[in-house]
Amino acid sequence: MGRIIVLDEQTRNLIAAGEVVERPVSAVKELVENSIDAGAGNIVVNLEEGGLAAITVADDGTGMLKEDLILAFERHATSKIKQTSDLSKVLTLGFRGEAIPSIAAVSKMSITTRMYGEITGCKAEAEGGCLVDVTPVGCPPGTKVEVKNLFYNTPARRKTMKSPFREGTLCAEIISRLALARPDISFELKNKGKRVFYSPGTGQLIDSVTAVYGISQAREMLKVLKTENGLSIIGYTGKPSISRSRRDHIIVIINGRYVNCPEVAGAVDEAYRTLLPHGRRPVAVLLLELSPELLDINVHPAKIEVRLLEQDSIVRLVTGSIKEALQVKEIIPQTVREYISSTSAEIYNKEHQLNVFKPTRVIANISSINYTEAGSFNSEKPVSQLFEPSINLQTGRSAQDSVDYTDHPNHLPVLKVLGQLPPVYILAGGDEGLYIIDQHAAHERILYEENLSAQGKEASQCLVVPVTLDLDHREASLLLDKVLWFSKAGFIIEHFGGNTFLIRGVPPNFPIGQEKVFVMDILDYFLEIGPGATFVEFFDRVASAIACRKAVKAGDKLALSSMDTLLQRLSNTANPFTCPHGRPTLIHLSNKTLETRFKR
């Protein structure tokens, strides 16, 4: 007897569902795209338990007749294409005819629908991919799809799902992307009936950008508009001041379809190459319109990837249009804001006296500048206090008062500072030879361990003017979930309503002007690492990031006394040999090595 058999229909449906419906967000995307293709002007999505318990998608689109509703549960049944040639000019989002049967195969689904002009509608119910009932019902025009107990009959897939919060966050992300792709449609996302996201559907892209990113960030976006050789680009790109640490804030929409397109995202990155520091990524929303013949969208089961047939010319046009938008003086960053201590402004002003003299460049680290009452920068004070122990504004004591270094053996030998080798190295001599110290890495290690020693003290300093954070839904939900962690780290963050938050306080010695970027980067870290993050990892990340921003920079010229104090403090750390990121703080050239090199 032969070994090859034809699988039964139920098994085939489950296999197909595994390709199309990976998690709740896959079902949400397919159902909402069906609503868009049906001509809906308003789409409402409601989730329970992140979509694992229930997903409801209701629209005011064209609806279906009873005959079409029954066929919708059949595999490869679609109204979007009729023949092979249609694949080269697809303008709809869904066309494979697999969404409804694939979702139904792994859930308990019901669809209620009525076409405009019909007196009554109809409701179909399916379980595990099998249609069990079709009945006439009264309902408004349009379609409502209800999906319950997703993956109830595939327990292995169900066990791989993340927490309801994480799954709901992914669903919110795709809804926001679709809202950007179709600003003419109103999108509403609810969690157990409570609205968490709303896009008005005015037809203006800037309104959708504001709904997703918030008004303050939308104000930092520059319009992009370009048409050339049949390719149209419209969108908004962020000023360098709102850069992020991850590339997924570059939103690419091609012919109304949100896609992952590394080529276009790379073209946006290239436009910012000389404007952003290493590791920073721009924020951009780009809507591209091109001939369907230049686009292959039939390369991925979920239709999330596309293939560009004239990639080089499209990439060049995207980069050029972004560069044109950035050629305005408005991208110059504004001056930083001041802090005021919650206990004593006098202590703060004393602590932040000028730490660097006769700089060879403009020093970006505000902690090394004396900001006078008149608002001018004083560049003539000595550097004697640069590496004095930082003052805790809540207690008035130095950070070293609260750290017991007696348990840490002095790993470093006694060193004598010889001088400074620009831009970033300190030269020091010891009994064993020459030592070259990276001043930024060494200071970063010192501040990092001091920051760690402050864990649990919850000291904060208030801002003169609160910093506004306008977040998208997933970031806002994440911040609400982790706000107590931020509080324990010294941040005072207030929920202002919706997706808006106010940063009212930060840890002592926090670098001025870095509040918004810092919190955004930490949120990106949470989104990247997922639900497995612990408070210890979070606080370590905070301590490391603050130390990096606060440490003396390359090019900062130091006095001999300041360099000597730096080495003394470095010797008191638990690990004086690397910075928090693992880079070495110093290297050693032994006397023997020097003698060999000089052929003595």
Contact status, residue 330 vs residue 239, Cβ threshold 8 Å: yes
pLDDT of residue 341: 39
Query: Does position 338 have pLDDT exceeding 70, yes or no?
Result: no
Res 368: pLDDT: 32
- Mean pLDDT, rounded, of the chain: 78
pLDDT digits 0-9 by tens, 148-175: 999 888 888 888 888 898 899 999 999 9
Q: Torsion over CA of 502, 365, 248 and 538, rounded to 10 degrees?
A: -70
Phi–psi pair at 537, nearest 5 degrees? -65, -40
Cα–Cα distance, 540 to 230 (Å, whole number):
51
Task: Look at the alpha carbons of 150, 151, 155, 160 in this order and tell me if their dihedral is positive or negative.
Answer: negative
* From 46-60, 182-196, 572-586, the region with the lowest mean pLDDT: 572-586
What DSSP element (H or E) covers 43? strand 42-48
d(CA 182, CA 196): 19
Per-residue confidence (pLDDT) for residue 73, from 0 to 100: 85
Q: Say which range, 128-137, 263-272, 274-283, 589-598, has the weakest mean pLDDT.
A: 274-283
Number of Cβ atoms within 10 Å of the Cβ of 467: 19
17-68 per-position pLDDT tens digit? 555 688 899 999 999 999 998 999 999 999 999 999 999 999 999 999 998 8
Tell me the DSSP string of 318-345.
HHHHHHHHH-SGGGSPPPPPPB--SS-H
From 499, 387, 504, 371, select the one nearest 440 (Cα to Cα).
387
Asked if residue 414 has pLDDT above 90, the reply is: no
CA distance 491 to 482: 11
Q: Say what the pLDDT of residue 306 is.
A: 75
Q: How many CA atoms lie within 13 A of 118 on its CB side?
A: 19
End-to-end Cα, the chain, rounded Å:
86
For 230-270, write each residue's pLDDT tens digit.
Answer: 889 999 999 887 888 888 899 999 888 888 888 899 899 88
Q: Which structural domains are found in the chain, ordered by start?
A: 9-202 (3.30.565.10), 220-331 (3.30.230.10), 345-453+553-597 (3.30.1540.20), 461-550 (3.30.1370.100)
Inter-residue contact 519 to 491 (CB < 8 Å): yes
Write the burial class of residue 249 (CB in 10 Å: 0-12 exposed, 13-18 middle, 19+ buried): buried
**Predicted confidence (pLDDT) per residue in 263-276, tens digit:** 899 899 888 876 77
* Least confident window among 199-213, 353-367, 410-424: 353-367
CA atoms within 13 A on the CB side of 60: 6
CA distance 193 to 345: 47
Residue with tokens 């470093």: 412
Judged against a pLDDT cut of 60, whether residue 302 lies above it is answered with no
CA–CA gap between residue 260 and residue 281 (Å, rounded): 16
Instruction: Please state, in angstroms and rounded to a whole number, the distance separating the CA atoms of residues 431 and 209.
Output: 62
Q: Residue 93: which pLDDT band, with cuts at 50, 70 and 90?
A: confident
Contact 270/305 with Cβ under 8 angstroms? Answer: no
Please name the residue that has the structure tokens 């980069």.
319
Q: Is the pLDDT of residue 81 over 90?
A: no
Residue 487: HSE in the Cβ half-sphere, 13 Å Cα cutoff: 9
Q: Which of 74-78, 243-247, 419-423 has the lowest mean pLDDT?
A: 74-78
When pLDDT is averaged across residues 293-314 and rounded to a whole number, the result is: 72
* Cα gap 362→333, rounded to integer Å: 14
SS (H, E, C) 224-257: EEEEECCEEEEEEEECHHHCECCHHHEEEEECCE
432 contacts 584 by C-beta, under 8 angstroms: no
Q: Which tokens is 368 given? A: 């090394």
- The pLDDT score that the predictor gives to residue 175 is 95
What is the average per-residue pLDDT within 188-195?
A: 93
> What are the residues whose beta carbons fall under 8 Å from the beta carbon of 165, sequence distance 6 or more?
50, 477, 481, 531
3-state secondary structure 21-41: CCCHHHHHHHHHHHHHHCCCC
Report the SS3 class of residue 163: coil
Mean of pLDDT values over 309-318:
86
pLDDT of residue 204: 94
The secondary structure element, H or E, covering residue 134 is strand 130-137
| The predicted structure's pLDDT at residue 90 | 59
Position 438 confidence tier, pLDDT thresholds 50, 70, 90: very high
Q: Which residues, listed in sequence order, are joined to residue 55 by a DSSP beta bridge?
A: 47, 147
d(CA 480, CA 477): 5
513 pLDDT more than 80? yes
Mean pLDDT of 504-510: 85
Q: Which residues contact 294 (CB under 8 A, 6 or more apart)?
A: 308, 309, 310
Q: For residue range 518-567, list pLDDT tens digits in order.
A: 888 888 888 877 666 778 878 888 888 888 888 888 888 888 889 999 99
Mean pLDDT, range 499-508, rounded to an integer:
89
Percentage of residues in the chain with pLDDT exceeding 90?
30
Question: Using 50, 70 and 90 to split pLDDT, how confident is the model at 503?
Answer: very high
Confidence of residue 79 (pLDDT cuts 50, 70, 90): low
Tell me the one-letter amino acid at 180: L
Q: Which residue has the higher pLDDT, 96 or 196?
A: 196
**What value does the mean pLDDT take over residues 465-486?**
88
Cα–Cα distance for residue pair 179/463, rounded to 1 Å: 35
Place of tokens 């000291």: 459
Q: Which amino acid is residue 317, in one-letter code?
A: L
Q: What is the pLDDT of residues 172-188, one digit of tens each?
A: 999 999 999 999 999 99
CA distance 571 to 576: 6
Grade residue 400 by pLDDT with cuts at 50, 70 and 90.
very low
Cβ(319)–Cβ(441) below 8 Å: no
Which amino acid makes up residue 128? G
Residues ≥6 apart with Cβ < 8 Å to 174: 25, 28, 29, 32, 258
Q: pTM, whole model, 2 decimals?
A: 0.67
Residue 195 has pLDDT above 90, yes or no: yes
Cα(568)–Cα(555) distance, integer angstroms: 21
CA distance 435 to 415: 8
Return d(Cα 432, Cα 426) in angstroms, integer.
17
**What does the alpha-carbon distance between residue 257 and residue 295 come to, in Å, rounded to a whole number?**
11
State residue 171's pLDDT score: 94
